[in-house]
Structure 1
Amino acid sequence: MFSVVKTSTTQPKGGRDGAAGRGITIKEAKMKVANTHQIVLAGTSLGVRNTFHSIVAILTTLVVVTTVCLRQDGGHLPPKINASGSNSSSSSSSSKCDLFYGKWVFDNESYPLYKEKECTFMSDQLACAKFGRKDLSYQNWRWQPHHCDLTRFNATALLERLRNKRLVFVGDSLIRGQWVSMVCLVDSVLPKTLKSMHSTANGSLNIFKAKEYNASIEHYWSPLLVESNSDDPVNHRVPERTVRVKAIEKHARYWTDADFLVFNTYLWWRRPVMNVLWGSFGDPDGVYKGVEMLRVYEMALRTWSDWLEVHVNRNKTQLFFVSMSPTHERAEEWGAAKGNNCYSETEMIAEEGYWGKGSDPKMMHMVENVLDDLKARGLNVQMLNITQLSEYRKEGHPSIYRKQWDALTQEQIANPNSYADCIHWCLPGVPDVWNELLYAYIFHQ
């Protein structure tokens, strides 16, 4: 069974296999190396056998010294990713750390990492407490990998890393929620006069600026990455979704020179067939064709990856792709009554490895294949595999506790399930953990 642990203690500063737990300091380890070296020199007259044992002792001690030094340097192991969406057998080895294989631990001392009311730029779509949610325990869960500790988020350290740089989130409303989370995570350490927010590109690009650091944290609206008829940041709900799978420059020119690029695209592809346009929107000679979604998804990802290969400065830009964010729209999938959804849920799913039908492994594997091909061509895009860990958090969605952009009907009011948002996430909440994972990679990659 999936382990849900409740504790009110703070996260330990070092990894659980850190130097302190091993009972040896770096200084002591170095002294052991020196002593062992002396043993070898003094023992040459004792023959080859003693020399062999001494060499083994030196190598063993060097391994200890190296391990101690590495673990004291930041107190955490570098992250190892398994992007397949399933738990690999290597995850059980204590010598490796898959940051995405672990458990949720209740921690009401260290979490939340910020207060909803105190975030200057909180979104009304994600501010669940503001819109009436009373149970706030969704804010107090910390993600704990099984074989190491997730690096504690340090807003000042991140801003220093972002000095004179751009961190840009590109994609749909889910990655926009991750962007809002990141803004809230750094907001509290900045004086009011030294931060700003503005929009450009007809509202598609929103830019948070930390003036003292000349650092920006941005979100660019591009739900399908390539051009589509859903590209307007406000008026994007259309009955027939159409994509230009070979066209990306219109969007990409806004993120070409970014230092950190974080992409996602999934939610807007959830339909069996997509309209593909060869030509331009409004062109009477354009050719439209309905194509099976997974094939269109691959074509769009290939266009995106080809653009990255040609235009990204490999010596400057770190690239990330956030895997699909799960939805919780069918309560029967976790054993609740059919017809219900995340509405009124206050506890997470306890079944280890739970995977809802709203997450599509075929799409996830498609992303993996594209990223593998890019890597073979010399360009690394790091997958942030947030799917499995987010699958457990059915209680983390806004449900009915968010701003309603359209007036509710009497039928909706009588049946809250009918308008509950089980797609996006409350803040503080799950997207903060996505950013802790991103933070770990930024500092350890």
Structure 2
Amino acid sequence: MASTWGVRTSFQVFTIILFAFVISVLYFTTKEDGSRSRSRSSPSSLLTENHNVVRDTMEEVERMSGCDYFSGKWVFDNQTYPLYKEKDCTFMSDQLACQKFGRKDLSYQYLRWQPYHCNLPRFNATALLEKLRNKRLVYVGDSLNRGQWISMICLLDSSLPPSLKSINTNGSLSVFKAIEYNATVEFYWAPMLIESNSDDPVNHRVPERIVRTQAIEKHARYWTDADFLVFDSYLWWKRPFMKVLWGTFESSDGIYKKVEMLKGYEMALRTWSDWLEIHVNHSKTHIFWMSMSPTHERGEDWGGVTGQNCYNETQTIKKNDYWGSGSDPNMMKLVETTIENLNKKGLNIQILNITQLSEYRKEAHPSVHRKQWEPLTNEQLSNPSGYADCIHWCLPGVPDTWNEILYTYIYSTSL
């Protein structure tokens, strides 16, 4: 009886093992076939997924149409911000990488701009890349505009595998390419928009600034066929007088005259405006002007002591409608008048008024936490606030919000 029970038990164990083996083979065969099926259908699935993302984004932007994105407040949000990590952005600039260069307080990365009467649509890299498929998005201006360009490619970076993105710089033009989408996001260095003796993208620090207010073609030929143009030009004009040249930099018979800054700025805007009116395809190209990026170099503006600046600042400015002395309303008015006239002539152009929302962010500049292009002197080292950068912005940071707003406007276009 014991022997019979043992045989029966062995047979039952063998049956169980055999059954488990068959089930395992069937499971892994089915899983492999399913993987192959998913692999074969992945391009179609990806297109469907991208289509859904685009549709959802369009619906979200449409719901927010008419909203004032520029009036609101900064709120702490460490759940959805930052939109990318500084160290993960392949193309981060050492001028803007504040964490890399020693900044310990990272609260500036977790602030989200909250408009008063709506929500800013969440940035979606895939949706924007689909909108930019076979198109050119070109930023034109100075280092603040370049910072916004770097912000944008950092926002797109993680959604693209290394083999499907590239970056190339040739003189004043830097081009980031999303290869699969045949889309480019570009930056062109032209701090005055028109020709100047500061046009070299590397060696542009000169003791006396000279502009050719009637000459723009040297730069503008690189922008002609862009689908989206994003301009800025402000801080490089901030001096009482500007030397204007009638003639060329190469000729010896040019006429030079010092003009009051606002007059020179108006002359440059007129040349820029005339070029856009004649050379830009009115039905194709959408144009954006980024309003002044504020500086925080005078602590007395926000209730600090004289001589204080953004150095060691870790808090935002809480006063509603705060406006510092670094932003010039008269220059802004000239831009507004120029753009109103362009709109009357049929150009698709929009001012993105990022000045007020950026005014509150005195703590978001690199200060001393950036690469120094020249060795610091002992005198500078003994007075860090003296060399603090209170002009540019740490990334991730404020320029990401500029791009979130730009993103909603790009999505609302008919292109």
TM range (shorter): 0.7 to 0.9
Identical aligned pairs, as a percentage?
69
Letter in 1 for 2:161: P
2:293 is matched with which residue: 322, 325, 338? Answer: 325
Letter in 1 for 2:259: V
- How far has the Cα of 1:211 moved from its partner? 0.6
1:408 is matched with which residue: 350, 368, 376? Answer: 376
Unaligned runs of at least 5 residues, structure 2: 1-55
Deviation readout 1:33-86 (Å, 9 max, x if unpaired): xxxxxxxxxxxxxxxxxxxxxxxxxxxxxxxxxxxxx99932654454xxxxxx
Q: Which residue of structure 1 lines up, in the alignment, with residue 332 of structure 2?
A: 364
SS in 1 for 2:74: strand
Alignment of 1:89-104 (within 5 A): 97-104=67-74
1:190 is matched with which residue: 160, 168, 172? Answer: 160
1:109 is matched with which residue: 54, 74, 79? Answer: 79
Q: Which has the larger radius of gyration?
A: 2
SS in 1 for 2:256: strand
- How far has the Cα of 1:109 moved from its partner? 0.5
SS in 2 for 1:277: strand
8 Å Cα contact 1:79-1:441 kept in structure 2: no
Q: How many residues align?
A: 358
8 Å Cα contact 2:287-2:349 kept in structure 1: yes
SS in 2 for 1:100: coil
- How far has the Cα of 1:98 moved from its partner? 1.1
2:389 is matched with which residue: 396, 421, 436? Answer: 421
1:292 is matched with which residue: 245, 255, 260? Answer: 260
2:115 is matched with which residue: 136, 141, 145? Answer: 145
Distance 2:65 2:352 in 1: 11
SS in 2 for 1:121: coil
SS in 2 for 1:73: helix
Distance 1:310 1:157, change over 3 A: same
Letter in 2 for 1:326: P
Deviation readout 1:376-399 (Å, 9 max, x if unpaired): 111131001000000000000000
Distance 2:209 2:376 in 1: 25
8 Å Cα contact 2:58-2:411 kept in structure 1: no
2:140 is the alignment partner of 1:170 = yes
Q: Which residue of structure 1 lines up, in the alignment, with residue 105 of structure 2?
A: 135
Structure 1 segments, 4+ long, off by >6 Å, are: none
8 Å Cα contact 1:355-1:391 kept in structure 2: yes
Letter in 2 for 1:212: E
- How far has the Cα of 1:282 moved from its partner? 2.5
8 Å Cα contact 1:78-1:444 kept in structure 2: no
- How far has the Cα of 1:132 moved from its partner? 0.2
Distance 1:204 1:314, change over 3 A: same
Moved more, 338-347 or 377-386: 377-386
Distance 2:378 2:223 in 1: 44
Distance 1:444 1:117 in 2: 32
Q: Report the RMSD for the aligned CA atoms in angstroms.
A: 1.4
- How far has the Cα of 1:149 moved from its partner? 1.0
Q: Which residue of structure 2 lines up, in the alignment, with residue 53 of structure 1?
A: none
Distance 1:239 1:146 in 2: 44
Distance 1:105 1:268, change over 3 A: same
2:342 is the alignment partner of 1:374 = yes
Distance 1:195 1:302 in 2: 37
2:106 is the alignment partner of 1:120 = no
Deviation readout 1:276-335 (Å, 9 max, x if unpaired): 000100311100000000011011001001100001111211100000000000111101
Alignment of 1:168-247 (within 5 A): 168-200=138-170, 203-247=171-215
Distance 2:144 2:65 in 1: 23
Deviation readout 1:158-209 (Å, 9 max, x if unpaired): 0111111110000000000000000000000000111111112xx2000001
Letter in 2 for 1:220: Y
8 Å Cα contact 2:176-2:185 kept in structure 1: yes
SS in 2 for 1:394: coil
8 Å Cα contact 2:64-2:118 kept in structure 1: no
Q: Which residue of structure 2 lines up, in the alignment, with residue 24 of structure 1?
A: none
Letter in 1 for 2:365: H
